[in-house]
Amino acid sequence: MQITQNELHKELRAEAIASREKITHLTRALDSAKLNEHPEPNGWSIGQVLEHLLVADESYKAPLAELLGKARHDAAAISRNWKPSLLGRLIAGGVSGSKPLRAPKVFDPGPTPRSGVVESFLSHETGFVRAMDNAVSHDWRALKIGSPALPKWAPKMNLGDGFRIHVLHLTRHSRQIERVAGKL
């Protein structure tokens, strides 16, 4: 994958916004009963999918803020080539596939989503895009972040991997929400 950090940022930003808008369109009109309905017997409700996305996002929020708070700005980083780490490439490959996956326990949404899950999700996703925009002055390939789904001793991925995995995960679940909403 040959891409500059700037190109990656633009692609991820556009995809994140498109997925958020798709989810907004699909969920804003649903009442809590519809959000919690299970049209797929072994699948999550739309509310649980949103809760899962929130739990995953929240688990990265503090480590990301700490990482960026300690990192030096690098004005030239945006024009450098970016490439995924081995771990980032493996996780992104799994998340971007169409094969059903079991969520790591740490990202489990539980049986009932929080009150106001749609608005909480939309707020978090707006914050994610803002955080990604604010991070463009850092070197996404040099900064390393761990996955909360892996043990502390596991290798870390680069910051660009983290952003990319978040967006691929969001896009994957936007398709899931669309499928479930079509069955309501």
Per-residue pLDDT of the chain (184 residues; tens, 9 = 90+): 689 999 999 999 999 999 999 999 999 888 888 899 888 888 899 999 999 999 999 999 899 999 999 999 999 999 999 999 999 999 999 888 877 778 888 888 888 888 899 999 999 999 999 999 999 999 999 999 998 888 889 999 999 999 999 999 999 999 999 999 988 8
CATH of the domain at 85: 1.20.120.450
- Structural domain span for residue 49: 3-181
Q: Which residues contact 66 (CB under 8 A, 6 or more apart)?
A: none
How far apart, in whole angstroms, are the C-alpha atoms of residue 174 and residue 24? 10
Token pair 């809590």 in the structure block, residue: 32
Structure tokens at 170: 């969001």
DSSP 8-class letter at 145: E
Q: What's the number of CA atoms in the CB half-sphere (13 Å) around residue 152?
A: 1
